[in-house]
Amino acid sequence: MLDEDIEAVSPAEMEWLREQLVRAQRLSSVGTLASSVAHEFNNILTTILNYAKMAQKPTATDASKNQALDRIVQASQRAAAIVSGMLGMARPGTLKRQMTNLGTLVDEVLLLTGKDLSQHRIRVEKKIATVSAPVVSAQVEQVLLNLVINARQAMREGGTLRLEVRENKSLDVAEIVVADSGCGITAEALSQIFEPFFTTKVPDADGRGGSGLGLSVCRQIIENHHGRIRVESAPGRGSIFTLKLPLREEARARAA
């Protein structure tokens, strides 16, 4: 009976199911950041409140009032950017590939994850070249968000997260590297890491662990872009994930 049900699913229905899976995984990643983003908003509101009170003081000079207003504007702009990023990740977007600065996508993901990383004593190193590629921005951001969260979770005692965007002219691809100094992955797990429902994560104090879908969805997204995702890792030596994306639509067949 099960085989008959599977065969009855049309290609259109299968594509719809894939899209729902990608969206569910994206919402899961955003949910992981909810508490740290809420904490960041509390800090921003505290900053705004303190500078507003400073400007209201009877003894405040015009210069100190202007400084306070500048800080309020800066804090408000940061809050707006975080909200925009969260909404952009959560809402369904266009599936049309557009030429996009990949470094900008990295920065947007770091804006969302910055507080979470600092809370867990993660130092970020960036080496970002100006490279553009035809991508669905929200989907590539989803992949990066998942990889950054995974990297943070692999560094339980803190560590270094390295992000790099570069151009590989010999393959005509853009490469995005997400590397961590965490616990690493065994050879046995490495061979299964992109398989659906495979996870090495241990449930936390609240019983939340990995669904085993994150990296599987990441691979699906990158391969739908005619790209590749590669991983290098060993126990105790951290992990390096490399995304390879064609620089041009006509170059996609050569991405490897």
What was the pLDDT predicted at 119?
86
User: Residues in the chain, how many?
Assistant: 256
Backbone angles phi, psi at 31, to 5 degrees: -60, -35
CATH number at residue 128: 3.30.565.10
Range of the domain at 132: 98-254
What was the pLDDT predicted at 151?
93
What was the pLDDT predicted at 78?
79
pLDDT tens-place string over residues 195-252: 876 666 655 444 445 555 678 888 888 998 999 999 999 999 999 999 999 998 765 4
What was the pLDDT predicted at 31?
64
Q: Is there a single domain that holds both residue 57 and residue 107?
A: no
What was the pLDDT predicted at 2?
46
Angstrom distance (rounded) from CA 240 to CA 150:
11
Question: Does any domain span residue 2?
Answer: no
Angstrom distance (rounded) from CA 217 to CA 112:
20
Angstrom distance (rounded) from CA 157 to CA 122:
9
Q: Is there a single domain that holds both residue 72 and residue 191?
A: no
Question: Does any domain span residue 18?
Answer: no
Q: What is the b/e burial string over 92-117, where b = at least 16 CB atoms within 10 angstroms of the residue's CB?
A: ebeeebeebebbebbebbbbbbbbbb
Q: Is there a single domain that holds both residue 79 and residue 115?
A: no
Question: Does any domain span residue 76?
Answer: yes
Q: Is there a single domain that holds both residue 48 and residue 151?
A: no
Per-residue pLDDT of the chain (256 residues; tens, 9 = 90+): 444 454 566 777 766 666 666 666 666 666 666 666 776 677 788 788 888 988 999 998 999 899 889 989 988 887 887 777 666 655 655 668 899 999 999 998 898 888 889 889 999 999 999 999 999 888 898 889 889 988 998 999 999 999 999 999 999 999 999 999 999 999 888 888 878 766 666 554 444 455 556 788 888 889 989 999 999 999 999 999 999 999 987 654 444 4
What was the pLDDT predicted at 141?
87
Q: Is there a single domain that holds both residue 112 and residue 144?
A: yes
What is the pTM for the complete model shown?
A: 0.68
Question: Does any domain span residue 27?
Answer: no
Question: Does any domain span residue 21?
Answer: no
Number of Cβ atoms within 10 Å of the Cβ of 157 = 9
How many domains, the chain? Answer: 2
The residue out of 86, 108, 142 marking a domain boundary is 86
The residue out of 59, 86, 113 marking a domain boundary is 86
Question: Does any domain span residue 225?
Answer: yes
